[in-house]
Amino acid sequence: MAIHFNHTILSAHDSRSSAEFLVDLLGLPAPTRWGPFQVVATENGANLDYMNVDGVITPQHYAFLVSEPEFDDIFARIRERKLSYWADPGRTKPEEINRHDGGRGLYFEETNGHLIEVITRPYGSGGWNP
């Protein structure tokens, strides 16, 4: 089966600055423009396409699998910028990271309130199954 997740659209009030914030924080290449989108490209070929919208944005959730050194770098940037972060998606554990599946994980909000997760192990890869 040759079906690969290709892209999703993220609502934004300023697509350019939102995309720049995300690539800067994650250490990804600069966003590119395609039509109405500011495109954030990931290593596995799935793109996050920021698009400007008016009005209230309903926050969505996006998760990124990163290496341990990348996690260190991302975590350092989060702390440098004094961004809030949590160990859980319900945001009951501020200023903590999780250790699910023997890796590390955390959650933070990007500029539109979308909840971004970074993990070093895919869900279930270490046998963790709450």
Q: In the complex, what is the shortest distance from the CB of residue 119 to Fe ion, in angstroms, rounded to a whole number? A: 8
Residue closer to Fe ion by CB (options 39, 63) is: 63
Residue closer to Fe ion by CB (options 52, 60) is: 60
Beta bridge partners of 47: 7, 41
Task: Please identify the residue of the shown chain whose CB is closest to the bound Fe ion.
Answer: 63
Which sign does the torsion angle of CA 109, 77, 16, 44 carry? Answer: negative
Point out which residues bind Fe ion (CB under 5 A). Answer: 63, 117
- C-alpha distances in angstroms, 37 versus 46, 64, 70, 112? 14, 20, 26, 15
**Which helix (H) or strand (E) is 24 found in, with range?**
helix 15-26
Q: In the complex, what is the shortest distance from the CB of residue 61 to Fe ion, in angstroms, rounded to a whole number? A: 6
Q: In the complex, what is the shortest distance from the CB of residue 91 to Fe ion, in angstroms, rounded to a whole number? A: 13
